């Protein structure tokens, strides 16, 4: 069966520090991969999606970036965090069944 | 433009009462429709999906949803709510095997004893 994991689950970082959130999918190949952000009390904002290794599409201009170094690995990064980057980050994947499957989420607090 | 609207930000129901969460969408092609549930601090879990066929779909945890093309709606229902149903509910539309999904802003459900 397919599984998705993301880490770390919780992260507290100072303003201006770097960020790396990782996500891996198991049990499937060539998935579409996504990073969403969920601000407190708000819906989901699509940040990045990827249809293959090295192929990244950005939905919202910001100081975040994403990379897909391997087929089932998706990384969300920042060189310098802003206060506004605080939120709940969700990795997700989709395949040929048409629905999205989400990871457990990563809570980022920027102080 | 594609969009999903959940007009109810917050709903409170009594345990045992029936529930209906509203969802309206705008989508240029035949939509693939989803309902997800999110407990605090966790990821989203798929409740049910509609791709084609019978417009009344059954999901997990006793939920069902009905696709009404004429109203561009996909409302979620449950005949008798349990306290454990308290959570955030998201409606979404997608292109099936494509790579675009659009989410509503969510409806927060509170269940009172």
Q: What is the C-alpha to C-alpha distance for residues A99 and A40, in angstroms, rounded to an integer? A: 24
List pLDDT tens digits, range B55-66: 999 999 999 999
Is the CB of residue A110 less than 8 Å away from at least one CB of chain B?
A: no
Q: What is the C-alpha to C-alpha distance for residues B101 and B2, in angstroms, rounded to an integer? A: 9
Residue A42 has pLDDT above 80, yes or no: no
Residue A19 has pLDDT above 90, yes or no: yes
Q: Which pLDDT does position B91 carry in this prediction?
A: 96
Per-window interface: B 25-84 vs A, CB < 8 A:
32, 34, 36, 41-46, 49, 51
C-alpha angle B95-A60-A26 in degrees, rounded to nearest 5 = 55
Q: Which pLDDT does position B111 carry in this prediction?
A: 97
Contact between chains at B106 and A101 (C-beta distance less than 8 A)? no
**Residues of chain A found within 8 Å of residue B97, distances taken between Cβ atoms:** 94, 96, 98
Confidence of residue B98 (pLDDT cuts 50, 70, 90): low
Residue B24 has pLDDT above 60, yes or no: yes
Alpha-carbon gap: A105 to the closest alpha carbon of chain B (Å): 5
Here the contacts of B62-71 (C-beta below 8 Å, separation 24 or greater) are B63/B35, B65/B33, B65/B35, B67/B33, B71/B24
Contact between chains at B106 and A43 (C-beta distance less than 8 A)? yes
Confidence of residue B99 (pLDDT cuts 50, 70, 90): low
* DSSP class per residue in B13-45: EETTS-EEE--EEE-SSPPEEEEEEE-TTS-EE
Per-window interface: A 9-28 vs B, CB < 8 A:
none
In chain A, the residue whose alpha carbon lies closest to the alpha carbon of B42 is A104
Nearest to B79 by CA among B20, B21, B35: B20
Q: Which pLDDT does position A90 carry in this prediction?
A: 96
Contact between chains at B44 and A107 (C-beta distance less than 8 A)? no
Per-residue pLDDT, averaged over B25-47, amounts to 91
- Indicate the length of chain A as a whole number: 111
Is the CB of residue A56 less than 8 Å away from at least one CB of chain B?
A: no
Cβ contact A93:A4 at 8 Å: yes
Q: Which pLDDT does position A95 carry in this prediction?
A: 87
List pLDDT tens digits, range A72-108: 999 999 999 999 999 999 999 998 888 899 999 999 9
Per-residue pLDDT, averaged over A11-36, amounts to 96
**Residues of chain A found within 8 Å of residue B96, distances taken between Cβ atoms:** 98
Cβ contact A72:B6 at 8 Å: no
Residue B97 has pLDDT above 60, yes or no: no
Of all residues in chain B, the percent with pLDDT exceeding 70 is 96
Q: Which pLDDT does position A72 carry in this prediction?
A: 96
Closest in B44, B49, B97 to A102, CB measured: B44
Token pair of B112 as six digits: 């009172």
Q: Which pLDDT does position A61 carry in this prediction?
A: 66
To which residue do tokens 């409170």 refer? Answer: B12
Other CB atoms within 10 Å distance of the CB of residue B11 = 16
Half-sphere exposure of residue B94: CA atoms within 13 angstroms, side-chain side: 24
């Amino acid at each position: 069966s397919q599984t998705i994991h993301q880490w770390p689950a919780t992260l507290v970082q100072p303003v201006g520090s770097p960020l790396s959130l990782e996500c891996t999918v198991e049990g499937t190949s060539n998935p579409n991969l996504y990073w969403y952000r969920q601000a407190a009390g708000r819906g989901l904002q699509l940040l990045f999606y990827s249809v293959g290794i090295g192929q990244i599409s950005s939905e919202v201009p910001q100081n975040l970036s994403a990379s897909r170094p391997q087929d089932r690995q998706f990384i969300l990064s920042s060189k310098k965090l802003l206060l506004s980057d605080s939120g709940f980050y969700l990795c997700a994947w989709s395949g040929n069944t048409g629905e999205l499957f989400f990871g457990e989420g990563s809570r980022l607090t920027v102080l | 433009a594609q969009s999903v609207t959940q007009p109810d930000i917050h709903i409170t129901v009594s345990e045992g009462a029936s529930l209906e969460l509203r969802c309206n969408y705008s989508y240029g092609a035949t939509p693939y429709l989803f309902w997800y549930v999110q407990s605090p601090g966790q990821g989203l879990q798929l409740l049910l999906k509609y791709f084609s066929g019978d417009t009344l779909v059954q999901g997990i945890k006793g939920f069902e949803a009905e696709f009404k093309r004429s109203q561009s709606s996909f409302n979620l229902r449950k005949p008798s709510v349990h306290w454990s149903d308290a959570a955030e509910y998201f409606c979404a539309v997608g292109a099936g095997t494509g790579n675009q999904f659009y989410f509503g802003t969510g409806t927060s459900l509170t269940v009172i004893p």
